[in-house]
A and B are shown apart, each in its own frame.
Chain A
Amino acid sequence: MAAADVAYAPPMKSGKAGFEAGLMDPQHRIRITLSSRSVKNLEKVCGDLVKGAKGKDLKIKGPIRMPTKVLHITTRKSPCGEGTNTWDRFEMRIHKRVIDLISTPDVVKQITSITIEPGVEVEVTISDP
């Protein structure tokens, strides 16, 4: 793949001219799934990851926002059966973002170890390119 790149030299984004050297062999498709209950933290982590990956000149498919899952719980307010029947409607929102990269697993480990935010769950799926 490295040789093909050099010969073909497809139009790529700036910053990727010196691509041939420094390529380690096992390039994988990596999917990072971030999920969280708070949007702010999630967006922050996403942004950091994307920035980090771009800084290392990786091919990245930007944060894909999955639809938010809203979990509902509806209960009676009263602990006993007495009283006017009022109900509580609780909800929990789960936000999910997906980032696709093509790189080596080491690099990914680096990136994900730096950006750390509480409450954000990170899942990494590595597959053959």
Chain B
Amino acid sequence: MGGRGGGGGGRKARNFATFRLFPRAGAADPNDRVFVRVDNNDYTVPGFADEDSFDPSLSDPSAGDGNFHSASGPLPEHVRREILELGLPDDGYNYLSHLRELRPAAASSFVPSSTARPEPLPLDVKAYDASRVRVGPSDGELDEGKTMCKVAAKTAPVRRIEKAVDPDVVRLLDESDVSHVGSEDEGLEEDFVIIANRAEGEELEEEDIEEWNGVLSDVEEEFDFEEDEPKPRVRRLLDEQFDLLALEEYGDSDDDDRVVKDGEYELPSEAIDELKLFQSQNVCVDEEYRTPADFVRQKVDSSTTDEVDESAHVIKKCAEYAERYLNETAEEEVVVLVSESSDESEVWDCETIVSTFSNLDNHPGKIETPGIPRKRLPRVFPGETTTTNDIIKLHGKEKLPVEYLPQRRRNGEKEKKVKPVEASVTDKFKKGAEKETKEEKKARKAAVKEEKKEARKAKKELKGLYKSETQKAQKVAAVTGPSSIRLIYCGKHFGLFEIMT
């Protein structure tokens, strides 16, 4: 080799440079490597790994590495596009250099967490929180601009909407502080219909208003809900349209005097009269069930003659009413039918509703305390490796089904065994394979012997403990079973086997 001057004394002249290929720091591609100097000699090799911005693609354009060294000037189009796609700003800096690709082995599939924050809004939707906007009756002031200003002042843009677990529950929880006004009065009287229709005065209607108010939501609470409320402000085109629509749908309901509220309607006056009659009769409910016919035929306990007469004519009267009803509908009288929304009965309080999920879909488990793990017979019997499964082999003097019993490990004897064995480990290796097996065998046999010894000892103990059990069981058997059954006690298994003779 050239370059080795020097004589005998000194060290050989080290005029060589050693470079090693290392992967570039922070590079995505493990094949992207650079030469790094690994020795400390003075020898310089210009043009090998000296520059900071070493770029194999520059020196060899055919390499096609894809690394673009452009600190200044606009980035190439595809780079810019990629940067934009990632959501990074397009300011001329190549953010891709900071990215790292996940290796296929390292990156398992991405599973979004179910407990994460709710999704942000989609890009084409903007949400505003308008809970502070007060929509109230403002007299005469319906300038669009002003309303918009008012609304805008109170709303705040919201970046994500939280989806409630159960919208019903959330909605009701929101109203929880308001809706309990009428909850105490929920129990209806027996004759609530009569009471409701009897009281024509303002007071009762006021009560009802209060109750209904309690059920309405916050925004509507702003209204002073009076009789003549509907037209406080200047009518708009929308109002006209609404009225027209209402007319179409619900017929003639332009009466302002008789405001029709939800769930409440006025019975025709004939019905009211009848009900009054009924109430004045003081009907008491007897134990027995009586039909009108009873009153007529059997003359049973009729307090008034009126009753008897009426009972007789019940059927006739029913027919009359039916006819009248039919005729009334033909004349198109005002009969307002309102679907029973019955907000009062549907208000749920926190104590009664836990969830609106039904058990048909939702199967919650019962929480129980963990039980004590009980040791059972092993499922895979070691004895099953033998061919016959039906025969249980009994071993030993006591005739026990050894292979079907749970094996217990003895740690005490293993310790004794390990120490003498350790010393011979090095010997094993020196001597080779043959001698090792002898030692192994000896050790194994010794271990088994020890185990059997321990087993015998334990069994003797146990036998002594449970001797009385055998006698008891024999007594019982003597009374109950046939005398041919002889009971013996078997050591390991805590039970008694019968010997069938």
- The dominant DSSP class at the B interface is mixed
Q: Tell yes or no: B463 within 8 A of A by CB.
A: no
**B188 at interface (Cβ–Cβ under 8 A)?**
no
Q: Is there an interface contact between A124 and B15, defined as CB atoms closer than 8 Å?
A: no
On chain A, the residues within 8 Å of B31 by CB distance are 116, 118
Q: Roughly how many angstroms separate A56 CA and B47 CA in the complex, as a whole number?
A: 19
Which residues of B lie under 8 Å from residue A128 when comparing CB positions? 2-3, 15-16
Docked-complex contact B35 and A109, CB < 8 angstroms: yes
B60: contacting residue among A82, A110, A123, CB under 8 A: A110
A63 close to B (CB within 8 Å):
no
Contact with B along A21-35 (1 / 0, CB 8 A): 000001011000000
Please count how many residues in chain B sit with their CB below 8 Å of the partner chain's CB atoms: 34
The reply on B421 being an interface residue by CB < 8 A is yes
Q: Which of A50-88 contact B (CB under 8 A)?
A: 81-82, 84-85, 87
Chain B positions within 8 Å of A116 at CB level: 31, 33
The one of B30, B45, B425, B443 in contact with A105, judged by C-beta atoms closer than 8 angstroms, is: B45
CA distance A81 to B443 in the complex (A): 14
A81 touches B1 (CB 8 A): no
- A85-B425, A116-B31, A118-B30 are contacts. A105–B59 as well, Cβ < 8 Å? no
Bound together, the chains give a CA A114 to CA B33 distance in angstroms of: 11
Task: Answer whether residue B414 sits at the interface, using C-beta atoms and an 8 A cutoff.
Answer: yes
**Min CB–CB distance B170 → chain A (angstroms):** 55
CA distance A114 to B18 in the complex (A): 19
B1-42 Cβ-contact flags toward A at 8 Å (1 or 0): 111000000000001111111000000001101010010000
- CB–CB A105/B63 < 8 A: no
Please measure, in the bound complex, the distance between the C-alpha atom of A125 and the C-alpha atom of B21, giving whole angstroms.
Answer: 11
Does the CB pair B20–A109 fall under 8 Å? no
Q: Using a Cβ–Cβ cut-off of 8 Å, how many residues does chain A contribute to the interface with B?
A: 26
Query: Of A84, A106, A129, which is in contact with the most chain B CB atoms at under 10 Å from its CB?
Result: A84
The CA of A2 and the CA of B19, in the complex, are separated in Å by: 28
Instruction: Flag if A123 contacts B18 (CB, 8 Å).
Output: yes
Does B2 lie within 8 Å of A81, measured CB to CB?
no
A126 within 8 A of B: yes
Contacts A113-B56, A114-B63, A129-B2 aside, 18 further interface pairs with beta carbons under 8 A come to A26-B46, A82-B418, A84-B440, A85-B421, A85-B425, A106-B47, A113-B59, A122-B20, A123-B19, A123-B38, A124-B18, A124-B20, A124-B48, A126-B17, A126-B18, A126-B43, A127-B2, A127-B15
Query: Interface of B with A (CB < 8 Å)?
Result: 1-3, 15-21, 30-31, 33, 35, 38, 43, 45-48, 56, 59-60, 63, 414, 418, 421-422, 425, 428-429, 440, 443-444
6 interchain residue pairs of minimum CB distance: A127-B16, A128-B3, A122-B21, A113-B56, A116-B31, A105-B48
